[in-house]
Amino acid sequence: MVALAHSDPGRRVDETAASMLEALFTQSPIGLHLLDTDLRVVRVNTATPVMRGVPLDDMKGRPIRDVYDIVEGCNVEALLREVLESGVPLLQRVVRARGEGNPPQERQFEISALRLESPSRSVLGLAVTAIDVTERERARTRTQVLDAVRRHVGRTLDPAVTGEELVPTVVPAFADIAIVEVVEAVIRGDDPPPAPLSTGTPLMRTAFRSDRARPPQAHPVGDVHRLPAPTPFTQAMADLRPRVVALHPTTPWLSVDPPRAHAIHASGAHSLLVVPLALRDAALGVVSLYRSGHSPPFDEGDRELAVELATHTALCIDSARRYTREHTVAATVHRRLLPRRPESHASLETAYLSATGADPGAWYDTIALSSARTALVVGKVSGGGLSAAATMGQLRTAVRSLSAFDLAPDELLARLHDTAGQLAAERAHLPLGDPLRCEALTADCVYAVHDPLTGTCAMAAAGNLAPLVAQPDHTVTSCGTPAGPRLGTTEGAPFASVDVEVPDGSVLVFTSDPLLTSYLAESSGPLSSAADYRDRPLQDLCDAVVYAVPAGLGAADAAVIVTRTRSFPPDRFAAWPLDADPEAVAVARRRTRAQLAAWDVDDETAFNTELIVSELVTNAVKYGTPPLELRLIHDRTLTCEVRDAGSAAPHLRHAGTVDEGGRGLFIAAELAQAWGTRYTAPGKTIWTEQPLPGVTAREGSF
């Protein structure tokens, strides 16, 4: 027999091939199918996935489309016919099909198909292999979902938006429905409560997503509600452990939460995975994942993935919560350090843009100065957060203090530059571990002084902040303020001041953002029609600017004040030149008395004013340099001014008991509520202010 076998090698090969084929169909772990040219089953092996519990004879002769319930979206029959026609093999194509069971479970198969030919090259059919790769594909999907969550969740610093970033990454790749609910206190930036979470703690639904077109919802996104107990959600929030729950119409805990039970039944969900958003034994919220229809129930691998997703999401929510808390504190400090609204006066109406997300380092201010003048300030500190708000408060206080010395804008910024340099030096000596130490302290600032008596506005800038002026003739131009060194830098270049004509009805715009200023300066910008607002509320112009500025320009973060000039009433102002001789004192008293009577000033104030004028004129005659001038201004206060061309500063001193002089300036200071010296190019001005009975600081304002 051995000799016979060796003498017929062809027969031996045929027997080996037949033996191998039989072994494949009876012992191979890979599902094998033989199909004829009509794609009907000729033979299958016992490892074929659909053969589990199905007699072999029930498979023979059935079309392949009846053997596998292919999920919509993949036409396997068309793919196999293409192999029959072209002879090009189909290799490792993954398809989804529903297997046996109640309900049918969706599985994934990797199929390959080869055309079978006879020795004469006629087509006999197809050999098809099928491998159940459901677990492999699920593991791959889990990896992809986890990678997507790590890439897309946490891109914003808003605890409410973080949930909206999570749900698209898990639906439909991992779940059919995803819901994120966060403790309301966490949304506000408060510390998360420790577990177990007390019953009745308010939660906000921050995100919902479903693979259905009109999914039912127990609560809309943004709704704040309390979770009824006991449910898997409250249990997960109590022990911070995930739960996989099978859902049936008779599930007992559904009766505790009727709205959620109705939504679950309407969606057809059959499997629930509840995973808490937890961090350091504190509860931030809960994620609810549902599967419905033919999707497989959640298993242990799904639970492990959900825990990783929730852990990453909880870290992102906590980071956003910390930012929200810091932003809230910084915004509160910023709001408290700014005036509630810019002050308006008889000759200068002021409004500001209502910012929705104001930069904590940006500020504005209006400061009432002597002689009916008003200082306008806008600035911006580099950096952000609470440190920027605190530095802003320091610089704003410094500006207000320096403005009391009646300094010219360029001189005031020079001294403010020194103050910012000192603050920067203090920051540089902070402890090495303080992150603020490495953050440079710089700031931009523009300081302007409007004088209604001359119709001009003197201004200077540190940095690239240039105010805009809309003239009554419809032209909008930059004030051309030279850019001085930024506050806090080591640059020592001097600041330069410019005088700008601002006739009656002009509109001045100060912003802390150069890009916004450039946009407003365009001929097609909202300021081009500023003259139309001459007799309308100034806030209308501010609203028009807000509506017109593109969303990406950052107008909501800038500090912006808008002012409209008015002519100072000519009957509220008087000026007289004086001779440099002693008789000028009597002349000044007489003219003062007559003018105060015309203004109907009360007798006590008029008497005190005469004394003040007498002492100031006497001082100017003795120690000043001609020419001399006396001015009276009836505004929110009664202002007396005596001008001369000298530069010597007056000195208030207390005269001795036997001294015959030296009490003049002391008397003026006692009778007035404020006094000071203002230096100008021609010389100096000594001024005093007295309150007017029955007139508040805002009287005469808009």
What confidence score (pLDDT) does residue 462 get?
Answer: 93
pLDDT mean over 688-700: 69
Residue 104 pLDDT > 70? no
Instruction: Give pLDDT tens digits for 515-564.
Output: 888 888 876 667 776 657 677 788 888 887 777 777 767 666 788 888 99
206 vs 427: which has the higher pLDDT: 206
Tokens of 692: 């007017």
Structure tokens at 561: 């004040």
Res 700: pLDDT: 43
pLDDT in tens, 105-135: 677 788 888 888 888 888 888 888 888 887 8
Average pLDDT over residues 452-457: 92
pLDDT at 701: 40
Q: Average pLDDT in the 46-51 region? A: 60
In terms of DSSP H, where are the helices of 338-408? 385-403
Q: State whether residue 8 is helix, strand or coil.
A: coil
- Mean pLDDT over 667-675 rounds to 85
**H-state helical runs in 631-677:** 664-671
| pLDDT reading at 52 higher than 80 | no
CB 32 within 8 A of CB 40: no
Give CATH for domain 570-690: 3.30.565.10
Q: Which two tokens stand for residue 637?
A: 């206060």
HEC secondary structure over 212-270: CCCCCCCCCCCCEEECCCCCHHHHHHHHCCCEEEECCCCCHHHHHCHHHHHHHHHHCEE
Give the pLDDT score at 347. 83
Instruction: Give the DSSP letter of residue 51.
Output: G
CB atoms within 10 A of CB 49: 18
Domain 340-565 CATH (choose: 1.10.287.610, 3.40.50.720, 3.40.47.10, 3.60.40.10): 3.60.40.10
Lowest mean pLDDT among 29-43, 152-166, 260-274: 29-43
Mean pLDDT of 249-265: 89
Taking the C-alpha atoms of residue 361 and residue 392, their distance in angstroms, rounded to an integer, is 5
Three-class SS state of 527: helix
Helix (H) or strand (E) holding 516: helix 514-520
CATH number for the domain whose boundaries are 138-326: 3.30.450.40
Secondary structure element (H or E) that encloses residue 593, with its range: helix 583-598
Q: Which string of b and e fits 607-619 if b means at least 16 CB within 10 Å?
A: ebbbebbbbbbbb
- Measured CA to CA, the distance from residue 123 to residue 142 in angstroms comes to 42
Residue type, 1: M
Q: How many CB atoms lie within 10 A of CB 528?
A: 16
- Cα(42)–Cα(252) distance, integer angstroms: 50
- Is residue 97 scored above 80 in pLDDT? no
Give the pLDDT of residue 357: 53
Count of helix runs (H) and strand runs (E) in the chain: 17, 28
- Look at 651 and 285; give whichever has higher pLDDT: 285
Q: Looking at residue 49, what is its pLDDT?
A: 60
Confidence of residue 676 (pLDDT cuts 50, 70, 90): confident
**In this model, does residue 152 exceed pLDDT 50?**
yes
CATH no. of 2-132: 3.30.450.20
Residues 339-357 have a mean pLDDT of 73
Residues of the chain with CATH 3.60.40.10: 340-565
Please say if the pLDDT value at position 287 is more than 70: yes
pLDDT higher than threshold 80 for residue 295: yes
Residue 479's nearest CA partner among 453, 513, 440, 507 is: 507
Total length of the chain:
702
Tokens 């009646």 identify what position?
Answer: 406
More confident: 524 or 569: 569
Mean pLDDT of the chain: 83
- pTM of the entire predicted model: 0.68
Tokens encoding 615: 């002492």
* Residue keyed to tokens 């199918």: 33
Question: For 249-255, what is the mean pLDDT?
Answer: 87
CB atoms near residue 247 (< 10 Å): 20
CA distance 313 to 321: 12
Closest CA to 617 of 591, 643, 655, 637: 643
Residues of the chain with CATH 3.30.450.40: 138-326
* pLDDT value of position 338: 79
CA–CA distance, 87 with 95 (Å, rounded to integer): 21
Question: Across residues 584-594, what is the average pLDDT?
Answer: 94
pLDDT digits 0-9 by tens, 55-81 = 666 677 778 777 666 665 567 788 888
Q: What is the dihedral of CA 586, 587, 589, 595, to 10 degrees?
A: 160
Question: Could you tell me where in the chain the CATH 3.30.565.10 domains are found?
Answer: 570-690
Confidence band, pLDDT 50/70/90 cuts, at residue 243? very high
Instruction: Name the band, by pLDDT with cuts 50, 70 and 90, for residue 210.
Output: very high
Share of the chain above pLDDT 90, in %: 33
390: pLDDT strictly greater than 80: yes
